[in-house]
Structure 1
Amino acid sequence: MMRVDSHQHFWRYTPQDYPWISAEMGVLKQDLLPDMLQPTLQRHDMQSAILVQARSSAAETRWLLEIAEQTDFVRAVTGWLELSSPELQKDLEAISHPLLRGFRHQVQDELSPAQWLADTAVNRGLRQLQQQEYVYEILVTHRHLSEAVEFAGRHDSYFLVLDHCGKPDLSLGAAHWKRQIAPLAALKHVSCKISGLLTEPRPAGMSSRDLLPYFDAALEIFGSERLMFGSDWPVCLLAGADENPWDFSERATAALSADEQAAIYGNTARTVYRLQETSYESASAK
């Protein structure tokens, strides 16, 4: 079985290119590149990865595609283009690449995420992406999940993926988050990345073990066939040396069936992002 880490980033750090990296995120203020991640993937038996944009830049997307070409374990890229551009089709043709499987915008960083999700030009652009079978990843926080539901409901022609469980408000508990997320889970073209939970703000005294009910809720409403593991490396480094997403996910999935684990650790991502196994992985699965 191809085991897939469905979400990580690489960058050459400059403050002007990554303004979202705040003063409290010192560990991220450095070049973070494939050779730094690969030993961790190998240690956790992850053969494949999906590389995701970290800034609103077509130039970054082209650079990520170059990395994917040169890096054996990167099997797909989620990039960025200006969805509202009247030149979107021309831009898509210019950036077309066999490993470019989807797009994302950091909606959470917009002055008005709700307004962006409702924007006519943005929605026209997303329809265009879906017609060409590009995945779209939705990056919002718990504050705009209701608008994300409306957005996703308008775009059911191809796969949508909710990043980082929709960034729940951990102070309100898993049951509250489950109610928030249920309308998205009811849309069968929407999958969810089990990622980012370790770095969401926590109430005092909350441990990583206290986050397991969020995984259980996601499993109940999405089903394993619409969940995928993602490390969110290197952002996951903000959780500290004692916590990491690979160990958290192993605890969360330990009691699941082999089929459920196979879905979360690879099959969902393979389906959504059209990933292909290498001959080595096919042989090792037999």
Structure 2
Amino acid sequence: MTIDAHQHFWIFDEERDSWITPDMKVIRRNFLPEDLWPVLKANKVDGCVAVQASQNDAETEFLLHLAEANDFVRGVVGWVDLKAVNLYDQLERYSQFEKLKGFRHVAQGQPEGFLLQPEFIRGVGTLVAFDFTYDILIYQNQLKEAFNFAVKLPNVHFVLDHIAKPLIKAQELQPWADDIRRLAELPNVHCKVSGMVTEATWMHWEKADFRPYLDVVFEAFGTERIMYGSDWPVCLVAGEYEGAKGILTDYLSMFSDDEVRDVMGNNARRFYNLDI
């Protein structure tokens, strides 16, 4: 069972999706389940987890609607205002949706201290009451803050998205590597090997460019806390789905069959409690 633990859907809106800049023209259009399913089948991927791309309640409803209509969308990571006064009531309502597995806030690029706001920490801590997970989306310079954030919430199941976006294009490992190792010391933190190609030289990367980063992540988290994610369709600005997936599958050729199965599907199934 192979699970793509990180992909997105959207109906493109130039104002809302302003992060999709003109140089990313290949993804300045709609991407829906009917676009993804043929790609997954061609790459022998059995299902996926749809992750929020917009910061509003409508995004969560949109993804839940798509998941309900498409069996291969096994789970949803939505958005909710984690600082809302009525957060508990909102989560109680969301807990009725079996495919809603967790939440994410786009924290990358936020001012220093964003993750450490007491209201935000309290909100993320509330997720535990409903067995919801939290995806950490940050840049590599926010890893120290992410550690200080996660250490305050030992009961929350965290997963770090996109290995925290290291400077792959510049082939810089430090201080990212040391900060990753420190974050991985927390047993409740997992890591998605996803979103790497967009941090490299678009369309001109080599698989060898990613090996030093994969070495660090696998040494730090071990095969029991790593999951595969494509970051489709964002990955398309830097390469095709097959090529991006091949970076990880080639790297995994040195691992046992059980370890490969864990990274490519079992860990995501367990972390997000997917009904498979």
TM range (shorter): over 0.9
Alignment identity in percent?
A: 38
Give runs of aligned pairs for residues 262-277 of structure 1, distance below 5 A: 262-277=261-276
Deviations 1:129-154 (A, max 9, x none): 12321100000001111000100111
Deviations 1:116-170 (A, max 9, x none): 1111111110111123211000000011110001001111113100000011122
Q: Does the 8 Å contact 1:7/1:233 carry over to 2?
A: yes
Unaligned runs of 5+ in 2: none
Q: Which residue of 2 aligns with 1:59?
A: 58
Whole-angstrom CA distance in 2 between matches of 1:224 and 1:66: 33
With normalisation by structure 2, the TM-score equals 0.94
Which moved further from structure 2: 233-242 or 95-104? Answer: 233-242
Q: Which residue of 2 aligns with 1:133?
A: 131
Unaligned runs of 5+ in 1: 278-286
Whole-angstrom CA distance in 1 between matches of 2:43 and 2:240: 16
Q: Which residue of 2 aligns with 1:103?
A: 103
Give the superposition deviation at 1:94.
3.4
Q: Which residue of 2 aligns with 1:144?
A: 142
Give the superposition deviation at 1:206.
5.4
Whole-angstrom CA distance in 2 between matches of 1:115 and 1:15: 30
Q: What code does the residue aligned with 1:63 have?
A: F
Whole-angstrom CA distance in 2 between matches of 1:93 and 1:18: 29
Aligned CA distance change for structure 1 residues 186 and 3 (closer, same or farther; 3 Å): same
Whole-angstrom CA distance in 1 between matches of 2:158 and 2:139: 16
Q: Does the 8 Å contact 2:230/2:241 carry over to 1?
A: no
Say which SS state the counterpart of residue 83 (structure 1) adopts: coil
Q: Which residue of 1 aligns with 2:227?
A: 228
Give the superposition deviation at 1:265.
0.6
With normalisation by structure 1, the TM-score equals 0.91
Whole-angstrom CA distance in 2 between matches of 1:67 and 1:153: 34
Q: Which residue of 1 aligns with 2:215?
A: 216
Q: What is the number of residues matched between the two proteins?
A: 274
Say which SS state the counterpart of residue 6 (structure 1) adopts: strand
Over aligned residues, Cα RMSD in angstroms?
1.9
Q: What code does the residue aligned with 2:145 have?
A: E
Q: Which residue of 1 aligns with 2:38?
A: 39
Deviations 1:194-244 (A, max 9, x none): 0011101449x8533211221122111100000000000000001134973
Q: Which residue of 2 aligns with 1:159?
A: 157
Say which SS state the counterpart of residue 6 (structure 2) adopts: strand
Deviations 1:39-78 (A, max 9, x none): 1111111101101000101111011001001112111100
Q: Does the 8 Å contact 1:131/1:157 carry over to 2?
A: no
Whole-angstrom CA distance in 1 between matches of 2:207 and 2:20: 23
